[in-house]
Amino acid sequence: MEPASGRKGRFRRGKPPRLGRADRSPLGRWFWEIDLVLLALVTVLIGIGLIAVAAASPAAGVRYSDGAVVFPPLYYFYRQCLWLAVGIPVMFVVSMLPKEIARRLCLVGAAVFVLALAATPILGHQINGARRWIGVGIAQFQPSEFLKPLYVVALAWLLSLKQHDRTLPVVPISFVATAAIAGILMKQPDFGQTIMFLLMWTALLTLSGAPMKGLAALAGLGIAAVISAYLFYSVARLRIDNFLFQSGDTYQVDSARRTLMHGGLFGTGPGAGTMKFKLPEPHTDYIFSVIGEEFGLIACLAIALIYVAIIVRVFVKLLDEEDSFILLAAAGLATQFGAQAIINMAVNLQLAPSKGMTLPFISYGGSSMIALSMGFGLLLAFTRRNPYLTRSPYVVTWNKPR
């Protein structure tokens, strides 16, 4: 007969295995509360991103090599692995945060990165005619990338206050804050990120139940803002003219579309692409085109469906959410994630003017990868559900574990 100290004896004394449903350790609670489907989907994206960066790295290395410095073929792939080694732990740590603590940290972080963003046009480093980076050496970062998810959570908290006190002027306050951020971004200049912040603000206003008249007025204001940007902002006018009238330098978007279509349905094969060497940013802005050339349009469609699956999964989970802050924060983060992916893919397909925006978890980049990991960690944290809590639109019940 097996002694009490053996495996069966341990089970008879009621000690559950690790990560079982009765495991109440922090890791055990996280494992059973986290949305494993979302976690699996983002893991697939990260894997695809590593393959894509490995395919684009030789072209990027050739483009940025000169007589003094020659980059090895997989230089950017190795660096992407380094950024992932930082980003993945950030995602998991953030996803384990209690929702209240996550909210408070986001409010503080949003204030810090707004100040960093304001300092960027003054202290930032100029790259390709824009000042978007701040810091020194490997510590350089792009404040706007980190501000995006923090802004979404802060804005969700602000708009959720309306549920408790209808007299609070949360919409005007949110407008002033968003306009201030947009003004700073236009000074860098960064027209693409400005569009992203305005899209997130509009999406959260819509989800918070803003009246249709207000949304119609907002749409008119948006049209007026685009016209003003075209008339008084040279960067916006140049990109809009290039997109609508094919005037000026359209080399980037033309090259991206030709590269994307060059591989046909099934691609030329890993490492066999040639058009990618003509792309200006094959490892960042135009990595979707590299995927199209080497892995085919079928692979591009599969990637687009993964992004759609993530967004749909989040919104389905929020159908019975009763906390207005959680609803707005999670939906806003999903909207930010999806909008960035759509904009990047649209630029590669020549359906939108160039924005300089990365493809989430696939494009190369340090600030982008770590900021996206933080944002997706927040999304996982806000969509965590107690497995013993059964929700319905009418009743909430507690199912005691057996």
Give the number of C-alpha atoms closer than 13 A to the C-alpha of residue 130, restricted to the C-beta side.
Answer: 17
pLDDT at 397 (0 to 100)? 45
pLDDT at 396 (0 to 100)? 44
10-residue mean pLDDT series, the chain (402 residues):
47 51 69 89 96 92 78 90 95 94 95 92 74 74 92 94 84 91 86 87 87 74 74 70 64 81 88 86 90 94 96 92 91 94 90 82 92 95 74 46 48
Beta-bridged to residue 50, according to DSSP, are none
Residue 126, classified by CB atoms within 10 Å of its CB into exposed (0-12), middle (13-18) or buried (19+), is exposed
Please list, in sequence order, all residues whose beta carbon lies within 8 angstroms of the beta carbon of residue 388, skipping any fewer than 6 positions away.
398, 399, 400, 401
Residue 32: inside a domain: no
pLDDT at 315 (0 to 100)? 93
Residue 22: inside a domain: no
Residue 241: inside a domain: yes
pLDDT at 242 (0 to 100)? 67
Interatomic CA distance for residues 172 and 149, integer angstroms: 21
Q: Total structural domains in the chain?
A: 1
Residue 54: inside a domain: yes
**Structural domain that includes position 305:** 38-389
Residue 281: inside a domain: yes
pLDDT at 392 (0 to 100)? 46
The answer, yes or no, to whether the previous bond of 189 is cis (omega within 30 of 0) is: yes
pLDDT at 135 (0 to 100)? 72
| Whether the predicted model's global pTM rises above the 0.75 cut | yes
pLDDT at 248 (0 to 100)? 57
Interatomic CA distance for residues 97 and 30, integer angstroms: 9
Residue 308: inside a domain: yes
CB 390, CB 396: distance < 8 Å: yes
Query: Angle between the 170-187 and 99-123 helix axes, to the nearest 10 degrees?
Result: 40
**Residue 326 φ/ψ, nearest 5 degrees:** -60, -40
Residue 13: inside a domain: no
pLDDT at 9 (0 to 100)? 43
Interatomic CA distance for residues 324 and 217, integer angstroms: 24
Residue 15: inside a domain: no
